[in-house]
Amino acid sequence: MRVRPIRPATISISTPLPGCRPSFSRRNGPSSASPAPTRRQALEKLCRAYWYPIYAFIRRNGRAPHDAQDLTQDFFLRLLETNSIGRADPGRGKFRTFLLGALKHFLTDTYRKATAAKRGGRLQVVSLDEMQAEERYQFEAVEARTPEQLFERAWPMALLENAMARLRQEFSEAGKARQFQVLKVFLSEEGSDTAYERAGAQLNANGRTVAVAVHRIRRRFKHVVRSAIADTVSTPDEIDEEFQRLFA
């Protein structure tokens, strides 16, 4: 039995991201009506899930790695302190669009003020591994891309990583961490009877059982991806649009 693989852009699962359920949408977004601790936690989770597109945009704007890390932290800190997301109009659409506009405004404002804050005195909103962030940036394609184009390219990757982390957490909480570790490769690679038999040998199952499990994990992954998308857009139509963009 063969199951067609899911073929989004290459999925990186090396960076652990939280399996969170904050939302920017009308249904349960971090609005001003939410209790302050809950709202802040939701925003912090969104920041942790989508920090890399912000970092990549700032780096492509010509900032040095250290400066890009500081500015990334400062940007998210401003969002949290001013509750910019909570005051945003959900009817204006995608969280991605809001975030990019807010980032451009932040960078313009930062440049105008020309603040000279010393490194080491900032509060950290997201944990940025200095080497990992810059190594990841260096792997970006070398052809000329504007900061906006790089941001748009990095965003779906961050979304898929977020969805993968949620799925990993689900399996772990169900006591199936080993199953996830073995089957995750089939989310992006072609499955074959031989591959299923090899996986079955690691899970004490036959190939047909593995094929069924692969079908289920792919179906569940798509559901989790849609859920992650729903956290960053405002309407069902936008969910469908983003989903088709990922799996076209």
Q: Is 195 inside a domain boundary?
A: yes
Q: Give the pair of three-digit tokens for residue 92.
A: 């204006």
Which of 90-94, 153-157, 192-196, 229-233: highest mean pLDDT? 192-196
Helix (H, G, I), strand (E, B) or coil at 190: coil
Q: How confident is the model at residue 120 (pLDDT cuts 50, 70, 90)?
A: very low
Tell me if 25 is assigned to some domain. Answer: no
For 59-85, what is the mean pLDDT?
A: 85
**Do 187 and 220 contact (CB within 8 A), yes or no?**
no
Q: Which two tokens stand for residue 197?
A: 């038999």
Provide the residue range defining the domain that includes 114: 36-118+125-247
Residue 5 in any domain: the answer is no
Supply the DSSP symbol for 11.
P
Number of other CB atoms surrounding residue 223 within 10 Å: 12
Residue 31 is assigned to a structural domain of this protein: no
Which of the four pLDDT bands, split at 50, 70 and 90, describes residue 18? very low
d(Cα 67, Cα 114) in Å, to the nearest integer? 13
**What is the reported pLDDT for 116?**
45
Question: Quick one: pLDDT at residue 172?
Answer: 96
Q: Identify whether 27 is part of a domain.
A: no
Residue 166 domain-assigned? yes
Residue with token string 């799925």: 167
**In this predicted structure, which of 67-71, 105-109, 129-133 has the lowest mean pLDDT?**
129-133
Q: How many angstroms separate the first and last alpha carbons of the chain?
A: 24
Q: What is the Cα 73 distance to its own chain's centre?
A: 17
**How many structural domains are present in the chain?**
1
Q: Judge whether 82 lies within some domain.
A: yes
Burial (CB < 10 A; 0-12, 13-18, 19+), residue 166, is buried
User: Rounded to whole angstroms, what are the CA distances from 167 to 28, 54, 223, 239?
Assistant: 21, 24, 10, 19
Model confidence at 3: pLDDT above 60: no
In a domain, 20, yes or no: no
